[in-house]
Amino acid sequence: MRLPLGFVEVIGFGLTGPPNVALARAEKIQADYPEPMGLAADIIGVVVGHALLRCGDLAGAIGRLRESRAGLHGQANAGGFLVFCQLYLTQALAASGDLPAARQALADLEQFSEPTATLLEPDLHLARAALAAREGAVTEALAITGQVAATAAGGGYEILALHAMVRLGDPSPATRLSELASRSSRARLAAAQADALAAGDAERLGGLCEEWLRAGDRLAAADVAAQAAIVLRGQKRDGTAAHWAARADDLARSCGGAWSPVLAAAARPLALSAREREVVTLAAHGLANRAIADRLGLSVRTVEGHLYRIRRKLGANDRTGLAALIGEG
């Protein structure tokens, strides 16, 4: 039982933090099995891949999880661990920005009928939220993560979901995170990030970038650096904003390539509202006006109005031009 119980411990630290402790536990498990074979080797790969994901090492996580997935297929008694593996792989691919691979991974995940899949409903919804955000539907992603937080109240998944909302640019979980701050390092740092974001405190956001790095989460550090850049641009402090945008880009690259709505906004500062960014990103991914309207809960006329104003603002004549300007398509 040492291996599955160790896996549960790693999951717990991954949810509540600090992520570097989750990775240390995973590496200890790996060291305890110097020459694993068969199912044990693949389970260890899932454990380590999960810890790497929580630390923001997306390239490392994707590599280990893909290797384990290949080994787990067809093995007896591997069904539950295969669900874990596919779940974390979906999240890692969405965070890396690989949209086609993330879509396929989620489609494969939703085919599983293992009992384990029911136990992992919060993580499954978070994977769907990550994919929605990657597609440009940030409002949808926030609705999903908010529902996860509501149904997982008081647990580690609530903290993870509320932090995901803050990373998407929504400071509204600040009060609830403050109530949870004493429970874990992730809740404490996420509460401080939400407060700083609500107050437009770029200096505090910059300090939190370093705190997330010390906790071992490069992806969270990249997001908060991007948020500092966005706040500074809004305050017309363009020189300092450029510094934090570059810092966010460096951290995203250190993850093996990362994508998030705030990273995209920091990298390509455009005179667009949050809603306009949603509309233009979905349009760049090939959605028709009706599909965009359905996805965002808007009328077709409202979507048409948004696209007209966006083209006027950015000087683009068609969707191809808009996709090039925002780096999508």
Contact 56, 221 (CB under 8 A): yes
The C-alpha atoms of residue 78 and residue 164 are separated, in whole angstroms, by: 30
By residue count, the chain amounts to 329
Contact 269, 233 (CB under 8 A): yes
Give me 163's structure tokens: 């932090």
How many other C-beta atoms lie within 10 A of the C-beta of residue 99? 17
pLDDT of 145 reads 96
pLDDT of 206 reads 96
Q: Which residues of the chain fall short of a pLDDT of 70?
A: 114-118, 328-329
pLDDT of 118 reads 67
pLDDT of 116 reads 66
Give buried/exposed letters for 216-236 (b at 16+ CB in 10 A, else e): bbbbbbbbbbbbbbbbbbeee
Give me 58's structure tokens: 């997306």
Residue with tokens 């609530």: 158
- What would the pLDDT profile of 254-300 be if each residue is shown by its tens digit? 999 999 999 988 988 777 788 888 888 888 888 889 999 988 888 99
The C-alpha atoms of residue 322 and residue 137 are separated, in whole angstroms, by: 17
Please tell me whether the overall predicted TM-score, pTM, comes out greater than 0.95 for this model: no
